[in-house]
Amino acid sequence: MVNSADLRSDRDAPLFWLLILQLVWAPVPLASNRTWAVGILLLLTCALWLGAVWIFRGQWSAVWARCLQFKLPIGILLGILLVITFQTIPLPHSILTTLSPTVGETWHRVAPLGSATLSLNAAHTQLQAALCLIYASAFLFTVLLVRSARRMNTLAYALIGMALFQALLGGYLFSVEAQYELFTSEVLHDRMRGTFVYHNNTAAMLAMCLSVGIGLFLVQLEKSSPATSKRWLVHGLDFLLSRKMLLRLALVILVIALVMTRSRMGNAGFFIAMLLSLALYAVYSQKTRKVVLVLLASLIVIDIWILGQWVGLDKVVARLEATQISKAEKKELAAQAQQQASDELNFVKPRLEESVEERALPIAYARPAIADYFWFGSGAGTFYSIFPQYRPAESRGYYDHAHNDYVEILTDYGVIGASLFALLVLASFWRIIRTIQTRSHPVAKGIALGALMAMLEIVLHSTVDFNLQIPANALLITVIIALGWCASQVDKAPPSLTRVPPPAAD
């Protein structure tokens, strides 16, 4: 029987680098959050598929055997794609009313004749179907191509390099307070943004890549021989001149960039995810427990506290402290500040941080929509279309997203689609944690830790933002999850996994 050991890394290397190109490119055009930018990602995905058809010709049994090792997540992603596709299929009104009474009633008022779709905006749902195809393909090609520890390290370094580019570019634009119009969008770099429009999305990207970097740094530490008390100076000099030092400097830059975004949940979510992940890693890595604790202490003391204070951590803390619970409390503070300014003949209007209640307003308004579109949702990508009918007339502002990925997934995909997302996340958490518990391979454990940390950060950050609705960030977390699944299988196969020996001469 042909298995994944027959796949040759020297043949599919172009596909691997094309996958990396797609990941690195995705954040550049405003995080690919434009229709034409999605088209470019789709073209790169088509190139991956066409290249795979050519490169893997005659090896489909081996490809199938490799995919069967990850049949659960691949099957879930296909299920999500089928749900979105089903939302765009025209159905008779009688069937629509049975499946979703609210959708059937809406279409009966708008277009009583002919058929209609479960999606209230089929064009946008088709766009989301294209994005889902891009994400599912990225997951598939990651688990198919990343079969060795060497490629796993290469992909992790590529993600860190991408984040470094965003950090350095964003730092420069922030330092000069750049302001310009790009692709019909006004961009003001009053915070660290990089090539993103919204600073919280930048923070999520930096936190995810930083998580992978910490996992990669632990890989380097686990590969090192333990230093004795007599040779500590030699090992210290070796560290300063090694690749580990360059990686450590990269982590410092990413931490500085994350702090400079001044994202409250971006920084808080990363800090919580880092503590939980490293604590779990220390429990199941007794040999390197001291190293993990030293790394954690250095990240907290040197990166977050000392360097964070230098680049503006106090401003992030001030934003958190200034975040009021309710609008009433905020109005009272604003009135007090205005009165104090008036007494001092200074009529500058005080600027207060958005309260928790204000951030949660679209979530509260959208809650009835979950019940109205309970099973199949209103259609992927249709939140902005249905939200106006649920918000009160006196509310202000434009909301294209719910500022909560869980609420938006429930309204767009319904319970059926949301259950598939939840199943993918839970299964991935389980597989990654089991990898940390059971594997002794340093690359497998380190990359699994980075994936766990990135997933925890997104799980926390998604409670107040919409990172999963941004193509660049959604693609990034999809590949990181795929890396977590790859870590469970890396180097388990015989050495012939990556190269087939030439046939013997007659």
3-state secondary structure 172-201: HHHHCCCEEEECCEEEECCCCCCCCCCHHH
List residues bridging with 323 in a β-sheet: none
For residue 368, tell me if it sits in a domain: no
For residue 331, tell me if it sits in a domain: no
Given a cut of 90, whether residue 313 has pLDDT beyond it is no
Helix/strand/coil for 276:
helix
- Distant-in-sequence, close-in-space partners of 424: CB < 8 Å, separation ≥ 6: 73, 76, 77, 80, 481
Lowest mean pLDDT across 77-81, 265-269, 497-501: 497-501
Token pair, residue 445, equals 């454990």
For residue 336, tell me if it sits in a domain: no
Mean of the per-residue pLDDT values for the chain?
82
Q: Which domain holds residue 130?
A: 4-320+403-497
Q: What is the mean pLDDT of residues 425-435?
A: 96
For residue 361, tell me if it sits in a domain: no
For residue 167, tell me if it sits in a domain: yes
Phi, psi of 357 (to 5 degrees): -65, -40
**Which residue carries 């007659």 as its tokens?**
506
Model confidence, pTM = 0.87
- The confidence band for 162, taking pLDDT boundaries of 50, 70 and 90, is very high
Helix/strand/coil for 54:
helix
Given a cut of 70, whether residue 386 has pLDDT beyond it is yes
Helix/strand/coil for 91:
strand
For residue 242, tell me if it sits in a domain: yes
Lowest mean pLDDT across 53-57, 139-143, 276-280, 335-339: 335-339
So what's the pLDDT on residue 381?
Answer: 92
How many domains does the chain divide into? 1
Task: Give the end-to-end CA distance of the chain in Å, rounded to a whole number.
Answer: 24
Q: Is residue 97 within 8 Å of 9, Cβ to Cβ?
A: no
Of residues 84 and 7, the one with the higher pLDDT is 84
For residue 415, tell me if it sits in a domain: yes
Long-range pairs for 115-118: beta carbons < 8 A, 24 or more residues apart: 115/90, 115/91, 116/90, 116/91, 117/87, 117/88, 117/89, 117/90, 117/91, 117/379, 118/86, 118/87, 118/88, 118/89, 118/91, 118/376, 118/377, 118/379
Of residues 145 and 299, the one with the higher pLDDT is 145
For residue 389, tell me if it sits in a domain: no
Of residues 321 and 218, the one with the higher pLDDT is 218
Environment class of 381 (CB within 10 Å of its CB; exposed 0-12, middle 13-18, buried 19+): buried
- The confidence band for 355, taking pLDDT boundaries of 50, 70 and 90, is low
Of residues 91 and 500, the one with the higher pLDDT is 91
Closest CA to 267 of 278, 254, 277, 248: 254
Token pair, residue 474, equals 């959604």
Given a cut of 80, whether residue 185 has pLDDT beyond it is no
Given a cut of 50, whether residue 1 has pLDDT beyond it is no
So what's the pLDDT on residue 221?
Answer: 75
